[in-house]
Structure 1
Amino acid sequence: MATPPKPSELIEEAAAWLAALDAGSATREDFEAWRAADSRRAVAFAQVVDAFEQIEPLRVVHEPLPKPSRLNRRNLLRGGVLAGGIAIVGGTVAMQAAAREHAETGVGERRSIVLEDGTRLLLNTDTRLSWRIKGTTRSLWLERGEIGLDVRTAAGPALRLFANGMHFDLRSGSFNARREPETVALLVLQGTASSDGRQVAAGALAQVIGRDLAVRPAEAVAIDRARSWKDGQLVFEGESLDFVAAEFNRYLENKLVVADPSLSRIRLGGRFTNTDPVELLKALEASFGIHAHRSESGAIMLTAS
């Protein structure tokens, strides 16, 4: 039988998770899986978070002392918890416990936010993000979905955008960021961005797959799409029906299903309202003879007539 971890070891683990979440190098899904596996981990994380919230203001007051490394922060958190006898704050702990604020949208919803530093955000469908604007810290975490950003930095620090373990520093300008399970795409519409010393100029697309970053000129349709979703529209230029259905499904509770595999090769273009597929379904039937019908579950099945 495995020896149960000591309380001090649980504190070390919890502090490491908080540091990783704070740095954007861990995903919420991995964190939740770790926390759910043992109720003692949730307790330890609650203690660590509470200690962090008491320690962080002291660190800020004493700037410009060097910012603690991740290891120093873990030791500081552990010492604060063990020596201070911190009370546990509640039975559940949100990922934003490290003094972050957060916002999200449901499927088919859009939402606009203005941050304390004047940054304007527009959240697309099924999006979740968190942020911290404090002193010289300007950080934003895209946890899922897509956002448009209008950033104003003036002479201050860049806004640091974290997503899927990577980060971008955004200067004044307009940007579009989209996070998928395995990729992150940042489109610079105006201004400049950088990541690990690589510059991303206006009109360029930076795409992260795993830990690999590729920067290339953005296609005109990508720029059009980044602007059109803000007006509730989807734009296609010769993409496959599979792609079209997948894009629409981001906005629909009742999903489109290409039930006949032979239809996947069909390519189409046009501009459609993203939360209502009626015009798309009319075009598919008129141009390709594709019939749509509702399944018992509510899904919209696409079949050859």
Structure 2
Amino acid sequence: MSKVVYKLETQQECYEQASQWIARLDRGLNVQEVQTLKEWLAGSGKNRQVLFKMAEIWDKMDALSRLSELFPNTHKPTAGASRPYRAVAASALVVLAFFCAWAATMVAERFIEQQQVLAAVVDRIYETAIGEHSSVNLPDGSQLVLNTNSQVKVSYTDQHRLLVLERGEIHVQVAHDKSRPLSVIVGDKVVQAVGTAFNIEINSDQKIELVVTDGKVLVAVHETPEDNTIELLPEISPNTSVIVSEGEQLVLGGEEETIEKVNPKEIQVKLSWRDGNLVFRGEPLESAVAEISRYTQVEFVILDEKLKKVRIAGLFKAGDVKGLLLTLRENFNISYQRVGDSKVLLSAE
């Protein structure tokens, strides 16, 4: 975790200290404070210049005459100056208001910046159980959505944005931050984006499916350190990576890694899980059951080989086994038999 140190510039420190001294003068100085003020004025010509020169600028109030009484020879007006010294001292009250407001603003800004940095430091693991999906608002404004049985490690600092997908599926809406590209490590690949949206899934045979829904991402090989730690990744160069753009899909881990165009309707189907739905548009029953099984502990067994090729279409609620079986029986003439609470046998009627 990086440590950020905030330090004011010398001139800003001088302004703040001057305003503090004017506040003390207003309520009256004790003997020790008088001595400390003298030391402060003697410490730097800039201190004296700020305290008195700025007082000359704001010469509208009749107060703080103690300044001239305590230090009658400290500040001498220039030859062209026409203001009496008492008026100069009196004007310090306005300086107090001006610089107190300025100092308060500076402190508030630094506090906000510090809170933003602290809020941007995240090192945690998010996961969902089978049948669950969850949304996470990341500190930079990005949104992470986890599908069923997914786990992702998030490491955010003021220097980098890193996600490691251990299992399952995520959709990431990346907030734009050119100085900190968001990187997702999955297997031996790293997907990097600045401001875009994409979906990544590790499927049952450990292939990685990437679909870009907005903008573009870069995909490159990632070498995992021996200690398996997350380390800061350099920005990936387009010359050493594959570019995947909006409306394109890349399947990693197979014999061929090719980029394919995906029409908007297919993308909607792929992302229907974010609304808790599963949409099938003519997939074989075997493929549909494999997808449905991701959202439930129930095991489906298809008894008839021909039945595996029956095309299934419709919208199903993820994890709703009862509704699924009813739809299969009424719309596709597929009967079922429950074996305990954890297994269902499917057969043709």
- The two structures have a TM-score, normalised by structure 2, of 0.56
Cα shift readout 1:26-80 (whole Å, capped 9, x = no counterpart): xxxxxxxxxxxxxxxxxxxxxxxxxxxxxx759x99xxxxxxxxxxxxxxxxxxx
Deviation at residue 264 of structure 1 after TM alignment? 0.5
Q: What code does the residue aligned with 2:210 have?
A: L
Q: Is the 8 A contact 1:171 1:191 kept in 2?
A: no
Deviation at residue 262 of structure 1 after TM alignment? 2.3
Give, in whole Å, the separation in 1 of the partners of 2:303 and 2:124: 42
The match for 2:136 among 97, 101, 113 is 113
SS in 2 for 1:213: coil
Give, in whole Å, the separation in 1 of the partners of 2:194 and 2:211: 13
Find the counterpart in structure 2 of residue 101 from structure 1: 124
Identical amino acids, percent of aligned pairs = 29
The match for 1:200 among 237, 240, 244 is 244
Find the counterpart in structure 2 of residue 294 from structure 1: 338
Q: What code does the residue aligned with 2:257 have?
A: L
Find the counterpart in structure 2 of residue 185 from structure 1: 209
Q: Is the 8 A contact 1:132 1:139 kept in 2?
A: yes
Give, in whole Å, the separation in 2 of the partners of 1:162 and 1:211: 20
Q: Is the 8 A contact 2:247 2:264 kept in 1?
A: no
Give, in whole Å, the separation in 1 of the partners of 2:207 and 2:149: 16
- Number of residue pairs matched? 212
Cα shift readout 1:68-119 (whole Å, capped 9, x = no counterpart): xxxxxxxxxxxxxxxxxxxxxxxxxxxxxxx841110000011111122221
The match for 1:264 among 305, 308, 314 is 308
Q: Is the 8 A contact 2:142 2:173 kept in 1?
A: yes
The match for 1:139 among 131, 141, 162 is 162
Cα shift readout 1:212-245 (whole Å, capped 9, x = no counterpart): 5321112445301233111111111111000010
Give, in whole Å, the separation in 1 of the partners of 2:296 and 2:157: 37
Deviation at residue 277 of structure 1 after TM alignment? 2.9
The match for 1:170 among 184, 193, 196 is 193
Give, in whole Å, the separation in 2 of the partners of 1:288 and 1:121: 36
Find the counterpart in structure 2 of residue 231 from structure 1: 275
Deviation at residue 283 of structure 1 after TM alignment? 2.8
- Identify the structure with the greater strand proportion: 1
Rg comparison, structure with higher value: 2
Find the counterpart in structure 2 of residue 217 from structure 1: 261
1:252 matched to 2:296? The reply is yes
Give, in whole Å, the separation in 2 of the partners of 1:114 and 1:212: 35
Q: Where in structure 1 are there 5+ consecutive unaligned residues? A: 1-55, 62-98
Deviating runs (4+, > 6 A) in structure 1?
A: none
Give, in whole Å, the separation in 1 of the partners of 2:255 and 2:304: 36
Give, in whole Å, the separation in 2 of the partners of 1:229 and 1:188: 16
Deviation at residue 131 of structure 1 after TM alignment? 1.6
Give, in whole Å, the separation in 1 of the partners of 2:346 and 2:130: 21
Give, in whole Å, the separation in 2 of the partners of 1:201 and 1:165: 21
The correspondence of residues 9-88 of structure 1 with structure 2, limited to 5 A, is: none
Deviation at residue 171 of structure 1 after TM alignment? 2.3
Name the CA shift for 1:226/1:287 in 2 (closer, same or farther; >3 Å): closer
Q: What code does the residue aligned with 1:189 have?
A: T
Name the CA shift for 1:116/1:124 in 2 (closer, same or farther; >3 Å): same
